[in-house]
Amino acid sequence: SQQGEEDPQALSIQEGENATMNCSYKTSINNLQWYRQNSGRGLVHLILIRSNEREKHSGRLRVTLDTSKKSSSLLITASRAADTASYFCATGRAGSYQLTFGKGTKLSVIP
Amino acid sequence: GAGVSQSPSNKVTEKGKDVELRCDPISGHTALYWYRQSLGQGLEFLIYFQGNSAPDKSGLPSDRFSAERTGGSVSTLTIQRTQQEDSAVYLCASSLVAGLRETQYFGPGTRLLVL
């Protein structure tokens, strides 16, 4: 079963608006990562947040992690049409090198 | 090469045939992973290799699936007696070493369609 579950499943916003995607997971994690996928092909790593971190920034991306609620959010500020893609969270558990991915949020940014 | 490459890009096969999918990781990366992504779904872990250690095959869905990594570099994922439910995009990724904090770099994937 999927460890991470993103919501919403799909999100459509106007260019310039902020986009927020959420991820919930079930078991204890070592870290949580966000990936982006264009056109159903290869994934691109965006950001990694460790279990002892609460917030992390990278450019227009802001990720938060709440281990008590087993949830994370990805905020993309000042969205652009080029941000249109699917976004996945992936969790890593101690004792395993596997990453477990959620089903993703499909973001559409309308110019 | 500059990134992870996979071949073929697309593969159409008939039910019951065997297929081989190839992955060339980033030079110098010791860890290599295979994932499967069905339509509209997240990625499903299949197998990973780390150096000369025994691979973690815990994600392989059946004994029709196997993978090898020769010389610590190129990997081949083989699906025997393909079934229609094997249709998916097969993604390969590599990282410098195996580790939860290591960034995995993904290839473009092989889109497999079993008729």
Q: What is the pLDDT of residue A2?
A: 40
The two three-digit tokens of residue B13, written as one number: 């096969």
CB contact under 8 A, B35 and A101: yes
**Under an 8 Å CB criterion, which residues of B touch A?**
4, 31, 33, 35, 37, 40-45, 48, 50, 56, 58-59, 89, 91, 93, 98-101, 103-109, 111
Out of A42, A48, A50, closest to residue B106 by CB: A42
Put simply, whether A101 touches B (Cβ < 8 Å) is yes
Res A10: pLDDT: 92
SS3 assignment, position B71 = helix
* Distance linking the first and last C-alpha atoms of chain B: 33
Contact B42 A2 (CB under 8 A): yes
- Contact assignment for B104 to A45 by CB distance below 8 Å: yes
**CB within 8 A of A29, min separation 6: which ones?**
A51, A67, A91, A92, A93
**Per-residue model confidence (pLDDT) at position A41:** 72
Q: Does A42 touch chain B (CB under 8 A)?
A: yes
Task: Tell me, yes or no, if A18 comes closer than 8 A to chain B by beta carbon.
Answer: no
Q: What is the pLDDT of residue A101?
A: 87
Residues A58 and A77: their CA atoms lie apart, in Å, by 11
pLDDT at A3: 55
Note whether A69 contacts B: Cβ–Cβ < 8 A. no
Where does chain B have alpha helices with state H?
none
pLDDT tens by residue, B73-100: 999 999 999 999 999 999 999 988 777 6
Q: Residue holding tokens 């919403």?
A: A8
Give me the total of CB pairs closer than 8 Å, taking one residue from chain A and one from chain B: 68
pLDDT value at A1 more than 50 = no
Q: Token digits for B75? A: 């990997």
Express each pLDDT in B17-64 by its tens digit.
999 999 999 998 989 999 999 887 778 999 999 888 888 888 999 999
- pLDDT at position B100 is 67
A47-102 residue pLDDT tens: 999 889 999 999 999 999 999 999 999 999 999 999 999 999 998 776 777 788 88
